Amino acid sequence: MTKPRNRSVPDRESSGTHPLLSKRYGRRKFLIKTGSAVMASAFGAIPLRGYAAEPVNIGALYPTTGSMAQIGVGCAAAAKLAVEMVNEAGGIKSLGGAKLNLIISDVQSDTTVTRTETDRLITGNKLSAIHGCYASALTLIASEVCERAKVPIITGSSSDQLNKGRSYTFTPFARASQFAQAQLQMSKLVSDKPKVAVIFENTAFGTSTSNGLKELAPGEGVEIVMFEPYSAGFTDAGPLINKVKASGANMLFSVSYLNDLILIVRTVKQVGLNIAINGGSGGFVMPDFYKNVGKLAEGLQGVAHWNHDIDANAQKVNEEFKKRTGDFLFEYAGGLVAQTFMLADALERAGSADPQKVREALSTLDVSSGYAAMAPGGKVKFGPDGKNIYGRPVGVQWQNGDLASVFPKDEARAPLIKS
């Protein structure tokens, strides 16, 4: 019997809202359902009963405890929503309507735990693929384990190192070097002669992004007047910001995760430094950033690999996520919803749950519509190195407590507010 090779999971966008997105779920019910997903890290897969076809196991590695717990819990919630969407749409047709079965492992915001949990997840379960882990430092380790085990991993993490020497790693969104170029180009929205101070945390994310800034700045006509690393998780940003003040910069690029960026923005205000800020990605694009700094965020710019206003499908998913959690669907969580549909597309075309066949199907993914194409530019196709050849970031700005896509101009969803 020949299995269909070109069918993708129906996302129903042609007839309006996805069936799941038309339902209203109470917050209590959502928390119960999400809690059951997180509990899977201790008790195995979420049970899916009553289906004729054997469920397809998808692993999810996220830091649901530790310093990145808030982000990890949001990712787990988005992963659960995405699986429900695929299953409500009929599952994997070429596998007899098989449902996706989500297995979440808590990597505890720790590199050592990430290695052991990735290995445990793979050896303890019959997996078709994995997605994770938010922080590039964690994802680099998980991808090493996946490579040895020959299990594909798809990730929104941005380090360019992820695509070096890997055959089972797929990155459908912008790379760190692309973020850097977008930030440099956006600096010209502030000044014809940008003088930029770059401060960055000494992690895989911070180092790769900042090095990209340094390498690309001359070609973009941007002068970097300060290039300073700092220890992630510091408690006093005063000395660093005083150096920025003395540098003569008219724009600050801070390559930081959430807590560091909150401290940096508050310190800029405290020392009376009047400077435009592009917070890049990482912590800047999280709802909790605005919750912590309030109106200090208004007008600040950043870059993201995904934003909830990029297309109609993203807006629909965002509305459902907001109903469930009270927050907008942030960059990484929104991207992993799209990634789940990319995996579903690969499973559909592979006609198999075997991880190596799923890997082959991912390598030939080529989508330009539906939830799987829910990315800046609306296209996903992987090159030989596992990068999306169409991958690019979107420039965002905090406006009225929300993130609006403002760059590039032809893809802007709101006009830039000059502050």
Question: Could you tell me the residue ranges of all domains in the chain?
Answer: 13-174+308-388, 176-304+395-411
* C-alpha–C-alpha distance, residues 186 and 202, integer Å: 24
User: pTM of the full predicted structure?
Assistant: 0.84
- Using omega within 30 degrees of 0 as the cis cutoff, is the peptide bond preceding 75 cis? no
* C-alpha–C-alpha distance, residues 307 and 330, integer Å: 7
What is the predicted pLDDT for the residue at 281?
84
| 10-residue stretch averages of pLDDT, the chain, 419 residues long | 40 42 45 42 42 87 94 96 98 98 97 98 98 95 98 94 95 90 92 94 81 92 96 94 96 90 96 93 89 95 96 98 96 97 98 98 98 97 97 96 95 89
The DSSP 8-state label assigned to residue 98 in this structure reads B
Taken in order 308, 190, 176, 325, the sign of the CA dihedral is negative
* C-alpha–C-alpha distance, residues 309 and 312, integer Å: 7
* C-alpha–C-alpha distance, residues 80 and 152, integer Å: 19
If residue 62 lies in a helix (H) or strand (E), which one and from where to where?
A: strand 56-62
Give the three-class secondary structure for 3. Answer: coil
Mind listing the pLDDT tens digit for each residue in 195-229?
A: 999 999 988 778 877 888 999 999 999 999 999 99
What is the predicted pLDDT for the residue at 283?
83
Q: Quick one: fold of 13-174+308-388?
A: Rossmann fold (3.40.50)
If residue 358 lies in a helix (H) or strand (E), which one and from where to where?
A: helix 355-363
Contact 24, 323 (CB under 8 A): yes
Give the three-class secondary structure for 29. Answer: helix
Terminal Cα-to-Cα distance of the chain (whole angstroms): 63
What is the predicted pLDDT for the residue at 210?
87
Tokens describing residue 142: 């998980």
Tokens describing residue 119: 């290995």
What is the predicted pLDDT for the residue at 195?
96
* C-alpha–C-alpha distance, residues 40 and 120, integer Å: 13
- Using omega within 30 degrees of 0 as the cis cutoff, is the peptide bond preceding 47 cis? no
What is the predicted pLDDT for the residue at 197?
98
Q: Quick one: fold of 176-304+395-411?
A: Rossmann fold (3.40.50)
How many Cβ atoms are within 10 Å of 287's Cβ, its own excluded?
19
